[in-house]
Amino acid sequence: MNLITDNWVPVTWRAGATNLVGLDELFAKASDIRDLAVQPHERIALMRLLICVTQAALDGPADHYEWEDCRDGIPERVRAYLRKWKPSFELFGDGPRFLQVPNLKSGKEDGEGTDATKLDLTLSTGHNATVFDNAGGSERPQAPPRLALSLLAFQNLSPGGRIGVAKWNGSDTPGAGSSNHAPCIPASMLHCFLQGQSLLETLHLNLLDREQALDLNGPHSWGKPCWELPVPCPASKPEIRNATMTYLGRLVPLARAIRLFDEGNRIILGNGLDYPGYPEFREPSVTIVQRKDGPGLLSASLERSLWRQLPAIAVRRRATKDALCGPVALANLPNDAPASIWLGALVTDKAKIEDAVEGIYQIPAGMFRDLGRQTFEAGVAYAEGWELALIFSARTYADTLKLQPPPTNKARQHFWTAIEQHVPTLLALTDTPGAAADFAATPWGKAVRTAAQEAYEFACPRQNPRQIEAYAKGRQQLFLRKPKPKSDGPATAPAAKPRKNQRS
């Protein structure tokens, strides 16, 4: 199977249908493809591959002016590039293989490998979590298209931990049976990609030019994709440096040493290359925020909705070395332009995957200005104040009934689920921040108040006299006070300045 000519990438066409395409067809018809039809972790890995192929084919763009003019030429440039490197995109065979290392032998005495289902992060094979799959068992055949997508996602987002030792070109695979996280998963890092009206527009919006790459990670940080400069063995220092410390090299990583059996049902698996994380190297799709111990990655959390992170993400990178900002591609947007963004991550607890999260948000131009972000943060703080009042009211209700535990979690979950439907209302206020002088009078403020009241009624039933009395006492507290929470969110950077080559 060749990933250029054979179908394996799930896409949704602008006409509405969904099917699989190969890389050649994907780029040939990129303007007719609406979006990728994949899970969050697969999107992160696929976007990095498609961006890498595009940037390698363009050998740039060199700067912002060249970026502005390159979109229409992407399909033919990339297709010509893929024809040149077609042998490197084979999934099986004796020659080069896509994201697999050469001369890899099993470290087991019987020479057997591991079930290929291990590559699918959503399957409960071996020690994988059962978050996405409760079927269990390992004997589940994987078709080549699924294997290709799983292999790509695994190299980008497999969590670290104990791993078998294999022989790579005669040497033990690195780590002595231990592995670090693949480059896209440390700290449950939250990835952000700009969204266009077509896949071609989406890819173009997320390209970095050479000046941005240099500004991001310093000189010699452009590099080459792994298929142009393959790593023959664990001792190949120049190739390893390119793969782990350059922009193009890291976009399609070799975090694990993998070799598929020809039947596709088993693999040889060992530790691969080590990818230093931030601050040694910054991935372009992440957001950097100020932590107590210094700048760090913005993380996804199951306790905090993605939309509450938008003020930090909407900070554009400046032409200085200031690190606190959202994804680098935001600098490609025209001044005072809205944007559609995709956010997603795999949330982990050490080596355990807890869940996948994602969301798409329409961001007004006002969110890219200081006053707009401050308005949004104030709106979130207003909701958090009602959340605290709701918790206090639920506890009052429970104390009156001598009920343990109090229904606070039930109330909170209902509250945040309800107001999430009104996030576009809060976002709209960032374009007219003056209207938010009194949040209680805004559509957002009214929606928050209604959500708090409905959440209280949902969590605190009143079906008998004692419950009615407790309900009345708790409800009185809900409207009696709305404590203002202490801000514990990430600090945002100063307003963005235009890049030196950026046109108004």
Residues 6+ apart with CB under 8 A from 76: none
Residues 6+ apart with CB under 8 A from 245: 217, 221, 223, 276, 280, 281
Amino acid 225: pLDDT: 98
Amino acid 491: pLDDT: 37
CB burial class (10 A; 0-12, 13-18, 19+) of residue 53? buried
Residues 6+ apart with CB under 8 A from 184: 44, 45, 48, 156, 157, 191, 283
Amino acid 109: pLDDT: 66
H-helix or E-strand spanning residue 164: none
Q: Output the CA torsion 318→319→323→325 (10° steps).
A: 20
Residues 6+ apart with CB under 8 A from 128: 118, 121, 353
pTM score, whole prediction? 0.90
Structure tokens belonging to residue 52: 């890498």
Amino acid 398: pLDDT: 96
Q: How far is the C-alpha of 389 from the C-alpha of 381, rounded, in Å?
A: 12
Amino acid 501: pLDDT: 42
Which domains does the chain carry?
Answer: 9-182+198-271 (no CATH), 288-371 (no CATH), 372-480 (1.10.132)
Amino acid 220: pLDDT: 85
CB burial class (10 A; 0-12, 13-18, 19+) of residue 193? buried
427-450 CB burial, b ≥16 within 10 A, e <16: bbbbeebeebeebeebebbebbbe
Q: Averaged in consecutive runs of 10 residues, what is the pLDDT profile of the chain (504 residues)?
A: 98 96 98 97 98 97 96 98 98 95 84 86 63 53 92 96 92 92 96 98 97 88 96 94 97 97 91 95 95 93 92 83 88 92 94 92 96 94 94 96 95 96 96 86 94 97 95 90 47 39 39
Amino acid 496: pLDDT: 38
Backbone angles phi, psi at 93, to 5 degrees: 110, 175
| SS3 label, residue 13 | strand
